[in-house]
Homo-oligomer: A and B are copies of this chain.
């Protein structure tokens, strides 16, 4: 395996904590930037309950600011896309000559933003196909799956090899994508139907979407739109990669059929009144579809609905928070 690498996990929510913990388990020096879980991890460490083996980092390097982390070899950025604008400030203190940045987030257009800030040469994208939720503070539940697909912002094979080396000694199965853009669109074939429909159909888990014939049909139709948009963009950009729609759609359904009643992170965000990653997962693909002149009626309708649902849920959440804060002896929910 690779020599011991210094890794900063920026945004150690469920996904960042899980993959960071796997890097630490394999011997890398991992420094986590926590927010919600900072106190809990300082007190009791970081626990991962995982189908691939439980893990307890008793005294991980837990930071509350990026300055405490300092320069590293790899930054793994696992912020929510809704916090993207804060990324430069959080990452800057971790950079030195040669630091690479792995964008472990959902959505389209993220690496372009990172490339603008830090130069494409050092930017990678990681796509996690996995079911991970937060438990109590300091605890992460890894329920199913877990492979990472990694691409490079310039699709450089040597850089991809470096990314593979980072993960070589870990329990995480990693593959590389010859086209980061293609991989992003392929991942959207899951996120757009399942993150979207679980929310818009009334707050249901993924099993309801795959077992309800009408919702399953809509999930497939959404995937077909995504494949069409993705291939149109790949063609326009002169890439040779294409998404094999039938194969990808078949694989997405097979994995989701086996998933049971999973609640995607955006559904949990929605139910708990937090901002949704609407623009990264829906808005940006839709904008690209419009720019390409490709119709995507279902994606368009879903995007309009989710933007409204997001605004409504937050207005409600805020109102509830305010009521709770106003109630005697009760604090506002965090």
Contacts and interface: CB of A to CB of B under 8 A. Distances in A.
Interface of A: 197, 200-204, 208, 212, 214-215, 217-218, 221, 297-298, 300-305, 307-309, 311-313
B304 A214 contact: yes
A218 B217 CA distance: 20
Given A212-B304, A303-B214, A202 B309 contact: yes
Given A201-B304, A202-B311, A305-B305, 8 more contacts: A203-B312, A212-B304, A214-B307, A217-B304, A221-B301, A297-B297, A297-B298, A298-B301
A199 to B, nearest CB: 10
B301 A301 contact: yes
A249 B302 CA distance: 22
A200 B313 CA distance: 13
A222 to B, nearest CB: 8
Contacts of A298: 297-298, 301
A175 to B, nearest CB: 33
Contact of A313 (B202, B212, B302, B305): B202
Contacts of A301: 218, 221, 298, 301-302
Contacts of A308: 201-202, 204, 208, 212, 214-215
| Most B CB within 10 A of own CB, among A214, A221, A298, A312 | A214
A299 to B, nearest CB: 10
